[in-house]
Amino acid sequence: MKIACIGGGPAGLYFAISMKLRDPAHEIEIFERNAPGVTFGWGVVFSDLTVDNITRNDPVSAAAITGELAHWDDIDVHIKGETITSGGHGFIGIGRKRLLEILQERARALGVVLHFEAECDPADPKWQGYDLVIASDGLNSRFRNANPEAFGVDTDVRQNKFIWLGTNKAFDAFTFAFEETEHGWIWAHAYRFAPDFSTFIVECSEEVWRAFGFDEMEQAETIAVCERLFAKYLDGHALMSNAAHLRGSAAWLNFPRIKCERWSSGNVILLGDAAHTAHFSIGSGTKLALEDAIKLADVLNRDGLSLGAALDEYQAERNLEVLKLQNSARNSTEWFETLDRYLHFEPLQFAYSLLTRSQRISHENLRLRDREWLEGVERWFWKRATAGQSNKTAPPMFAPLKLREMEVANRITVSPMAMYSAEDGVPNDFHFVHYGERALGGAGLLFTEMTCVSPEGRISPGCTGLWNDEQAAEWRRIVDFVHANSAAKICLQLGHSGPKGSTKLGWEGNDVPLDDGNWPVMAASDVPWSPANQVPRAMTRADMDAVRDQFVAAVKLGIDCGFDMVELHAAHGYLLSSFITPLQNKRTDDYGGSLDNRLRYPLEVFAAMRAAWPGDKPMSVRISATDWAGENGVTPDEAVAIGEAFAREGADLIDVSAGQTWAEQQPVYGRMFQTPFSDKVRNEGRLATMAVGNIYEPDHANSILAAGRADLVALARPHLVDPMWTLRAAAQLDYRDIHIPPQYLNGMSQLARNLKREAEIAAALRV
């Protein structure tokens, strides 16, 4: 094949090499706009896995590259005068210039023709004379941008400003240096890539950037300011730019996240940064470029594969890898963009949060990397959790939490789950066993299902209620069992179904109206949940008074039952949520319109409940932190304001759920998918929160808690099939200081022994 590679960066060069290795008959030319030896940037980092991949592909260039790799293990985080060092991270780096020299030499040796100082114009007809034109022309690709529709280009220009500088200071560790200045926070990401050379990327928010006047400075001045700001890390070494030709503030960039729906059009194929980018803070751009090149060369040389099929396979496989990395990169980018959220953390927790920011590294990964450091974090966590009383080194999920005078023994909660198994709202033997079993399972806190404050406030005829003495007596039986047989505390979740009421049992159809015997429903406005549901009556002030009083009456019964805590359900599109979300609330009075107005009634109900509930016992509120409807619904920013408003009325914990507030929601699911909302509400609002939503491993819980993303972790579905989730986690993590029902002691030690043995076998097999 006759092939033109536009751009002689890592992608173009490595593709040319990989093609020639597979078939020397290919005629390949590379056109690079720069002169040889002229390039942007300084060093790049790799992982061991990338080295394995390139070694398998081309041992010759890999040997030259690995011969020059700088290795380091530690990450140093400098903040507020402290340096937090953790080890075991295993980085390797190389100068970008050196990498390109090695690849150019290898390409030449294999017969690739290199043209330098050759600016390519996509409109030039000469490209039609090539079988393939490889657009390896970087993130600003002219060949992609000449025809953006054909490639389905999606660019997301990120908020922060950064500049890629170099220095002769040799950093021994991968260094993050955060500096508080008169204009706000600015920080550097620095790493060594040669014996006496390091990359030094300076980053800050646009606001801080403007406050410094960087937008009006020439590069030399910018560099002088950065040298002054980071002088204590540079030991007298200068900072340098290799983009000196750029005038004014042009050397500062906003990172563009690029993805493309299609990676080829006509004879043009996108490769490397032209097809996708991943934020520099996870350091994977070059790895992706090299791996793209290997895959493309593979499929183009596979016998029997048509060009179309080859390109389909190339895109399908590489895109999956890119999406995974872009997901992590997005988490990492956002962490730096929302840095203010974490600046109140103590340095140790700040460093933990930084290390786990992309969610690729978890608590147990950190233990493998640096056990001693992680145990320091665990001790710090326990000390804080116990107001200095405990020096324990143990997983954060087992640390206690005090809310008012209630102390939960550990941080795992059984999330509220409707069982649709009551008659006339009265809990029965099923509920007794269900809650009893889960209390025995070791969770620190147990939530009841949404227990309704009136017959009309039920979702279905099977919902539990608390409006009469018969119901209260059955709840008391359950609460007494929990208190007598476990260390768990039990929280009563109270709610009113509003527009989602009068529907079938959960497993008969979600939100589907009853076949007969429907009761009238009410809501903030006369907006039906869906075309199939009843049109609710818009609540009058008299309705509002009546329902508020029902909540208060239920709270009073809850006191008689002996509950430890009460939660108001103001999420998921039920009655109080129908006031909060603008998608359902169309009122024009004091209870509709602005967020303050939409919150007025839910806050009134909460305040009335709080007044009736004992002052030494805690209360929480469950909210939907987003309607998954963009700016048309409740946004995460509003969720912070909602949490703060309830806290002012005496809420001790914000139970941060999301969505289910309108039928056409567009949620983004995934592992721990709602935890970012808890993180935001907790750390922007400085409130105690509970995270929930697809959290299913002990490692998830520990990572969330240690990183300060929540104070409690709730699991719903995992507890449906495994009531003993917390005891199992304790056995798995070899943690013994948990209440185990004496009847089950034998089983616990057996499980712990077996799990330990399995872990040892797995470790031996890995070696």
Ligand X SMILES: Cc1cc2nc3c(=O)[nH]c(=O)nc-3n(C[C@H](O)[C@H](O)[C@H](O)COP(=O)(O)O)c2cc1C
Ligand Y SMILES: Cc1cc2nc3c(=O)[nH]c(=O)nc-3n(C[C@H](O)[C@H](O)[C@H](O)COP(=O)(O)OP(=O)(O)OC[C@H]3O[C@@H](n4cnc5c(N)ncnc54)[C@H](O)[C@@H]3O)c2cc1C
Catalytic residues: 574
The DSSP string of 133-202 is: EEE---TT-HHHHTSHHHHTEEEEEEEEEEEEEEES---SSEEEEEEEETTEEEEEEEEEEETTEEEEEE
> In the stretch 143-172, what mask flags binding to ligand Y with x, by CB under 6 A?
---------------------x--------
693 binds, among ligand X, ligand Y, none (CB under 5 to 8 A by kind): ligand X
Q: Is 46 helix (H, G, I), strand (E, B) or coil?
A: strand
**Contact between residue 675 and residue 638 where contact means Cβ atoms under 8 Å apart:** no
Q: Does 95 bind ligand Y (CB under 6 A)?
A: no
Least CB distance to ligand X at residue 167 (A): 47
Q: Which of residues 468-497 bind ligand X (CB under 6 A)?
A: 493
Q: Does 94 bind ligand Y (CB under 6 A)?
A: no
For ligand X, the closer CB: 26 or 458: 458
Q: Which of residues 171-230 bind ligand Y (CB under 6 A)?
A: 201
Q: Does 685 bind ligand Y (CB under 6 A)?
A: no
For ligand X, the closer CB: 201 or 691: 691
Least CB distance to ligand Y at residue 229 (A): 18
Distances in Å between the Cα of 744 and the Cα atoms of 439, 446, 566, 719, 727 are 13, 20, 30, 18, 10
Tally the residues of the chain. 767
Q: Does 11 bind ligand Y (CB under 6 A)?
A: yes
Strands 174-181 and 184-194: antiparallel
Residues 6+ apart with CB under 8 A from 731: 748, 751, 752, 755
Q: Does 136 bind ligand Y (CB under 6 A)?
A: yes
Q: Does 30 bind ligand Y (CB under 6 A)?
A: no
522-545: b (≥16 Cβ within 10 Å) or e = bbbbebbbeeebbebebbeeeebe
Q: Does 716 bind ligand X (CB under 6 A)?
A: yes
For ligand X, the closer CB: 116 or 696: 696
Please tell me the count of residues contacting ligand Y according to CB under 6 A: 31
Closest alpha carbon to 201 in 97, 286, 287, 280: 280
For ligand Y, the closer CB: 9 or 457: 9
Closest alpha carbon to 188 in 174, 178, 180: 178
> Applying CB under 6 A, which of residues 618, 643, 693, 708 lies at the interface with ligand X?
693
For ligand Y, the closer CB: 283 or 499: 283
- 250: amino acid identity, one letter: A
Residues 6+ apart with CB under 8 A from 468: 425
Residue 188, Cβ density class (10 Å: 0-12 exposed, 13-18 middle, ≥19 buried): buried
Please tell me the count of residues contacting ligand X according to CB under 6 A: 18
- For residue 672, which phi and psi values (nearest 5 degrees)? 55, 35
Q: Is 460 helix (H, G, I), strand (E, B) or coil?
A: coil
- Select the span of 27-35, 330-338, 448-456, 556-564 touching ligand Y (CB under 6 A): 27-35
Least CB distance to ligand X at residue 643 (A): 16
For ligand X, the closer CB: 417 or 487: 417
676 binds, among ligand X, ligand Y, none (CB under 5 to 8 A by kind): none
- Rounded-to-integer distance, Cα 173 and Cα 413, Å: 39
> Applying CB under 6 A, which of residues 78, 97, 106, 142 lies at the interface with ligand Y?
142
> Applying CB under 6 A, which of residues 74, 203, 273, 627 lies at the interface with ligand Y?
273
280 binds, among ligand X, ligand Y, none (CB under 5 to 8 A by kind): ligand Y
**Helix residue ranges per DSSP H, 356-399:** 363-369, 371-385
Least CB distance to ligand X at residue 450 (A): 3
Q: Does 726 bind ligand X (CB under 6 A)?
A: no
Q: How many CA atoms lie within 13 A of 399 on its CB side?
A: 29
284 binds, among ligand X, ligand Y, none (CB under 5 to 8 A by kind): ligand Y
Q: Does 622 bind ligand X (CB under 6 A)?
A: yes
679 binds, among ligand X, ligand Y, none (CB under 5 to 8 A by kind): none
For ligand X, the closer CB: 280 or 646: 646
Least CB distance to ligand X at residue 657 (A): 5
Helix 636-648 crosses helix 595-612 at what angle (to 10 degrees)?
30
Q: Is 451 helix (H, G, I), strand (E, B) or coil?
A: strand
692 binds, among ligand X, ligand Y, none (CB under 5 to 8 A by kind): ligand X
**Contact between residue 743 and residue 436 where contact means Cβ atoms under 8 Å apart:** no
